[in-house]
Amino acid sequence: MGPFLISSSFAGLHMIVLDQHPPKPLRPMAAPGAVARLVAHRDWLGFWFMLPAGLILVALLVYPLGLGVWLSFTNATIGNAGRFIGLGNYTWIFGDETFLHSIVFTLAYTLIASSIKFAVGLYLALLLNKRLPFKALIRSIILIPFVVPTVLSAIAFWWIFDAQFSIISWSLTRLGLIHHNIDFLGNPLLARACVIFANIWRGVPFVAITLLAGLQTVSPSLYEAATIDGATSWQNFRFITYPLLTPIIAVVMTFSVLFTFTDFQLIWVMTRGGPVNATHLMATLSFQRAIVGGSLGEGAAISSSMIPFLLAAILISWFGLQRRKWQQGSGA
């Protein structure tokens, strides 16, 4: 964060405005002293104001980000700084089936959960945008899954998907559909489906409420005009709602994809990556290897492998947003 360190030499003009003692207009203007410049020049002032945030972010975000990449090239373990071993960790993890499976599952988890969250969220937003009694109340209630800490709702899902006392098994048995309790979190395929469901459950309110905020800025007169011209409700959606909503959809989905891809809590609470590593995401696997197993270097290599995916997601949405700016004519 360097540029605002540069002090400028034509400080005089700002000083007239910024100096704290106004009623001395008749004096010839002296060049401000070094101290005054440190206190009042806007570049320096900016520096002082940025200092607390800058310090925290550089020391605990930028530096660890670099340190993480460095650790991934070492054989560090807990309590041992380790030494540089080049690509050793990477050649090891890319030969490790558990890791390769975790990449595939992370991608599937992100793709499936995000697209369903988007579809259901958009649908819910459209429903909430209609004329409804108790609209404000309904909207507040729908947000509750988003407010309650993920871990705590994950514990509730853990109980709902319990092997012995699952309420879902009980209901299906009573309906005569199954004869044995379903071992939801014990079967690899079912466990994957369950954690994806829990993720969707948790994410839908966020998508819906944000899209609803976007929908509310669309003027109803557009729909009226289109309807008079004979547009069907699908055409109303396709040619009015969707184009006007595109920018906010892009931002919401970027956030949703990023947070789904790096998810940790839900999986860790519900399955710890099991059964037989079937539900390991890259994040949970890196925790498993680095903190539980103690090999920091290997864990760092796994978590650093997420960076290219994240960068790709950010770049895609960045260029999407650039295009949108250009379309709206708000300059470069």
272/249 Cα distance (integer angstroms): 32
Interface positions, 57-116, toward another protein (CB under 8 A): 57, 59-65, 67-68, 71, 76
| 46 scored as a contact of another protein (CB under 8 A) | yes
CA-CA-CA-CA dihedral for 64, 83, 300, 93, to nearest 10: 160
| 29 scored as a contact of another protein (CB under 8 A) | no
Nearest approach, Cβ of 86 to another protein (angstroms)? 19
In contact, 157 and 194? CB cutoff 8 Å: yes
Interface positions, 303-322, toward another protein (CB under 8 A): 303-304, 306-307, 310, 314
| 264 scored as a contact of another protein (CB under 8 A) | yes
Q: Which stretch, 90-98, 107-115, 184-192, 200-208, contacts another protein (CB under 8 A)?
A: 200-208
Q: Give the 3-state secondary structure of residue 84.
A: strand
Cis peptide before 205 (omega within 30 of 0): no
Quote the tokens at residue 173. Answer: 């048995």
Q: Is the Cβ of residue 29 or residue 151 nearer to another protein in the bound state?
A: 151
93: left (phi over 0), alpha (psi -120 to 50) or beta: alpha
Interface positions, 203-232, toward another protein (CB under 8 A): 204-206, 209-210, 213-217, 219-220, 223-224, 227
Quote the tokens at residue 95. Answer: 């030969």
211/215 Cα distance (integer angstroms): 6
Among positions 183, 240, 265, 294, the unique one binding another protein when judged by CB under 8 A: 265
| 269 scored as a contact of another protein (CB under 8 A) | yes
Interface positions, 48-67, toward another protein (CB under 8 A): 49-54, 56-57, 59-65, 67
